[in-house]
Amino acid sequence: MTFEPAVLTIKDDLIAWRRHIHQYPELSFKEFETTQFIQKKLKTFGHMIIDRPTRTGLIARVRGRKPGIPRTIAIRADIDALPIQENNNLPFISKNSNVMHACGHDGHTAILLALAKLLIQDPCCICGEVRLIFQHAEELPPGGAIELLEAGSVKGVEAVLGLHLSSNFDTGIFGVKQDVLTAAVDRFDITLSGKGGHCAYPEQSLDPVPAMAELILALQTVVSRKIAPQDPVVVSVCMARTGTAYNIIPDDAAITASVRSFNPETRKQIEREVRQIASGIALSYGLEAVIDYEYGYPSVINDPGLTQLAEKTLVRRFGENQVMHIDSLMPGEDFSYFLHDCKGFFVELGSRNTAKGTDQPHHNSKYQLDEDALLYGVQYFLDMVRVMLNGVS
Ligand code: NI
């Protein structure tokens, strides 16, 4: 049998919790009701230590009673929603206008609640502590993970686990990737300042417009000429702002760009190249360049040992056909901050079912998740907890 009986008994609760959270989505850093709901539910399960180190988000500690050498592991779920008006026809559609759980975080939260209940029910199967991290604000940099990291949420933790539901894979398929899983997500703004004037007297101005054009083109050479082709990098100039009228040379021109990369060294190199190109072009035109370069979420790096352990555990439970080796993913994930203090493993869990219409992209107003995927998540975490907290050295 795929699922053990205890996991099957929680299915109705799991779906009810997920639907409640789906109906009342809240934006990043504003998950007040969601955190209240989580806390209220946890208190009905039995004894655990609950911490609220930030305004939203919550940490619950469950201690096991199995004898042996105790360890502590953490499991993290993100709880926030997105600024999207839901466009689905569901009985539990979002009741908060322009806010929607369109990334599956409602499912992540429900999975972690179900795990909490099962662990409390059967503390004899774990030796040590499971720290359940209900993390706020994954969708909005600087993100909630960094706050919880600084609050010591993974102090003394040996390993942290995380999961993301994904409409890119069929329901119940686990996507496993060793080492680099997600891209580092950075941005930069460059403002070129010159001197505006009458379009008919360009010699009296310092025109930033041709310089901006040259800058945009020159930035393309970072990827094509400076980085090895085997090293996947994106530099996309997505915004360009200048000018007010057809006959006025503007004072300034500004661009904004996104950068995605996987290698930490490459990441730093891109910043150096961007700065060099921008100041070089500005200098050649007699302009001034102000460069604002911001690092966003770093890459999620999956620990090799944990990846192997997870894969073995998944295959034993669900069979080889349910486990897929996947490529690195371009979206960012602030789970990466927890890996600053301990090793970790993050898995993708498929929730795509074309017949049910759960094949829409994430962050889309028609996004839905197949609730059958949730049980897979609960069973996976439960198996990992038992294997990792078995009390044996
Ligand atoms: Ni997400």
At residue 263, the pLDDT reads 92
Mean of the pLDDT values across residues 7-24?
A: 98
154, 338 Cβ separation under 8 angstroms: yes
Separation of 99 CA from ligand 1 center, angstroms? 14
Separation of 69 CA from ligand 1 center, angstroms? 35
Separation of 182 CA from ligand 1 center, angstroms? 12
Is residue 393's pLDDT more than 90?
no
Separation of 379 CA from ligand 1 center, angstroms? 20
At residue 352, the pLDDT reads 98
Fold of 184-295: Alpha-Beta Plaits (3.30.70)
DSSP 140: S
d(CA 340, CA 149): 8
Phi, psi dihedrals of residue 389, rounded to the nearest 5°? -110, 50
Q: Which residues pair with 347 in a beta bridge?
A: 163
Task: Tell me the pLDDT tens digit for each residue of 220-241.
Answer: 999 999 999 999 999 999 999 9
d(CA 244, CA 247): 9
Separation of 76 CA from ligand 1 center, angstroms? 12
Helix, strand, or coil (residue 76)? strand
Task: Tell me the pLDDT tens digit for each residue of 141-179.
Answer: 999 999 999 999 999 999 999 999 999 999 999 999 999
At residue 330, the pLDDT reads 86
Separation of 138 CA from ligand 1 center, angstroms? 7
User: Where are the alpha helices (H) located in the chain, listed in sequence order?
Assistant: 5-9, 11-23, 32-45, 105-121, 145-150, 208-221, 264-285, 304-318, 372-388
Task: Tell me the pLDDT tens digit for each residue of 270-286.
Answer: 999 999 999 999 999 99
Is residue 1's pLDDT more than 60?
no
Separation of 34 CA from ligand 1 center, angstroms? 16
Whether the model pTM is above 0.85: yes
Separation of 334 CA from ligand 1 center, angstroms? 10
* Burial of 63 from C-beta contacts in 10 A (0-12 / 13-18 / 19+): middle
Q: In the chain, where are the structural domains located?
A: 5-182+299-388, 184-295
* Helix pair angle (372-388, 11-23), 10° resolution: 110
Separation of 130 CA from ligand 1 center, angstroms? 23
At residue 339, the pLDDT reads 96
Separation of 82 CA from ligand 1 center, angstroms? 9
Is residue 32's pLDDT more than 80?
yes
Separation of 361 CA from ligand 1 center, angstroms? 11
Phi, psi dihedrals of residue 82, rounded to the nearest 5°? -125, 155
Task: Tell me the pLDDT tens digit for each residue of 341-384.
Answer: 999 999 999 999 999 999 999 999 999 999 999 999 999 999 99
Separation of 18 CA from ligand 1 center, angstroms? 15
At residue 156, the pLDDT reads 96
**5-182+299-388 homologous superfamily:** Zn peptidases (3.40.630.10)
Task: Tell me the pLDDT tens digit for each residue of 96-109.
Answer: 999 999 999 999 99
* Helix pair angle (208-221, 264-285), 10° resolution: 150
Separation of 244 CA from ligand 1 center, angstroms? 38
Separation of 51 CA from ligand 1 center, angstroms? 24
Separation of 108 CA from ligand 1 center, angstroms? 9
- From 51, 114, 107, select the one nearest 79 (Cα to Cα): 107
Separation of 359 CA from ligand 1 center, angstroms? 15
**If you average pLDDT over every residue of the chain, what do you get?**
97
d(CA 218, CA 311): 44
Separation of 327 CA from ligand 1 center, angstroms? 17
